[in-house]
Chain A
Amino acid sequence: MKKMLSNPALWRGVVSIAVFLILWEIGARSRQWMAPEFFAPFRELLGAIGLKKDYLPWIGAVPAPSVVLASWIAVLVDRSYWQSWYMSLFRVMAGFLAAMLIGIPFGLMLAVSRVTHGIGFPVFEVLRPIPPLAWVPASIIFWPTQETAIAFITFLGAFYTIVINVLGGARSIDVRYFQAARSMGSSRWDIFRRVILPGTLPSIVVGSAVGMGITWEVVVAAEMISGGGSQIGGTRGGGLGFFIWNSYVGGSYEQIVIGMISIGIAGFASSELLRWGGRYATPWLKAR
Chain B
Amino acid sequence: MAESKVALKIIPGELAVQGVSKSYGATRFRKEVVHDCSFTIERAKLTVMVGPSGCGKSTLIRLLAGFEQPSAGRISLDGAPITGPDRDRLVLFQETALFPWMTTWDNILYGPRARGELTRDALELGEFLLAKVGLQDFRDKYPGQLSGGMQRRAELARAMINNPKVMILDEPFRGLDAMTKELMWEYYSRLYEENRRTNFFVTTDIDEAVFLADRVLVMSNIPTQVRAVIDVDLPRPRKLSDLVESDRANDIKKQALSILHAEAMRSFSRGSKAAADFVEAYLKRASRA
A183, B65: Cβ atoms closer than 8 Å = yes
One of A28-36, A194-202, A257-265 contacting the partner: A194-202
Binary contact track A226-238/B, C-beta < 8 Å → 1, others 0: 0000000000000
Q: How far is the CA of A190 from the CA of B101 in the complex (A)?
A: 15
Q: Which of A177, A190, A283, A285 meets B114, CB within 8 Å?
A: A190
Q: How far is the CA of A285 from the CA of B84 in the complex (A)?
A: 33
Q: How far is the CA of A187 from the CA of B86 in the complex (A)?
A: 12
Count how many chain A residues have C-beta atoms less than 8 Å from C-beta atoms of the other chain: 24
> Known contacts A199-B101, A283-B142, A284-B142: does B110 contact A181 (CB below 8 Å)?
yes
Give every chain A residue within 8 A of B81 (Cβ-Cβ). Answer: none
B90, A183: Cβ atoms closer than 8 Å = yes
The residue in chain A whose Cβ has the minimal distance to the Cβ of B145 is A287
Binary contact track A176-200/B, C-beta < 8 Å → 1, others 0: 1101111111110010001100110
Give every chain A residue within 8 A of B84 (Cβ-Cβ). Answer: 182
> Known contacts A177-B99, A190-B114: does B87 contact A183 (CB below 8 Å)?
yes
Q: How far is the CA of A34 from the CA of B111 in the complex (A)?
A: 76
Give every chain A residue within 8 A of B65 (Cβ-Cβ). Answer: 179, 183
A184, B110: Cβ atoms closer than 8 Å = yes
- B115 interface contact, C-beta 8 A: yes
- A252 interface contact, C-beta 8 A: no
A179, B144: Cβ atoms closer than 8 Å = no
| Least distance between B145 CB and chain A CB atoms (Å) | 5
Binary contact track B83-104/A, C-beta < 8 Å → 1, others 0: 0111101110101010111100
Give every chain A residue within 8 A of B141 (Cβ-Cβ). Answer: 287
B101, A201: Cβ atoms closer than 8 Å = yes
Q: How far is the CA of A189 from the CA of B193 in the complex (A)?
A: 38
| Least distance between B192 CB and chain A CB atoms (Å) | 20
- B268 interface contact, C-beta 8 A: no
Per the 8 Å Cβ criterion, residues 107-139 of B in contact with A are 110-111, 114-115
Give every chain A residue within 8 A of B86 (Cβ-Cβ). Answer: 183, 185
A180, B97: Cβ atoms closer than 8 Å = yes
Binary contact track B16-43/A, C-beta < 8 Å → 1, others 0: 0000000000000000000000000000
> Known contacts A179-B67, A180-B93, A282-B101: does B144 contact A185 (CB below 8 Å)?
no
B97, A184: Cβ atoms closer than 8 Å = no
| Least distance between A192 CB and chain B CB atoms (Å) | 12
Count how many chain B residues have C-beta atoms less than 8 Å from C-beta atoms of the other chain: 28
B111, A174: Cβ atoms closer than 8 Å = no
| Least distance between A286 CB and chain B CB atoms (Å) | 9
Query: Which of the listed residues B141, B142, B145 has the most CB atoms from chain A within 10 Å of its own CB?
Result: B142
| Least distance between A17 CB and chain B CB atoms (Å) | 35
Give every chain B residue within 8 A of A194 (Cβ-Cβ). Answer: 99, 102, 110, 114
| Least distance between A181 CB and chain B CB atoms (Å) | 7
Give every chain B residue within 8 A of A3 (Cβ-Cβ). Answer: none
A187, B101: Cβ atoms closer than 8 Å = no
Give every chain B residue within 8 A of A179 (Cβ-Cβ). Answer: 65, 67, 85, 91, 93, 97
- B162 interface contact, C-beta 8 A: yes
Q: How far is the CA of A70 from the CA of B41 in the complex (A)?
A: 83
- A114 interface contact, C-beta 8 A: no
- A288 interface contact, C-beta 8 A: yes
Closest 7 CB pairs of A and B: A184-B111, A198-B101, A284-B142, A176-B97, A186-B114, A185-B115, A183-B85
Chain B positions within 8 Å of A, measured between CB atoms, are: 65-67, 84-87, 89-91, 93, 95, 97, 99-102, 110-111, 114-115, 141-145, 158, 162
What are 28 inter-chain pairs, A to B, with CB distance below 8 A? A174-B97, A176-B93, A176-B97, A179-B65, A179-B67, A179-B91, A180-B91, A182-B67, A182-B85, A183-B87, A183-B91, A184-B90, A184-B115, A185-B86, A185-B87, A185-B111, A185-B162, A186-B114, A194-B110, A198-B99, A198-B102, A282-B101, A283-B142, A284-B101, A284-B102, A287-B144, A287-B145, A288-B145
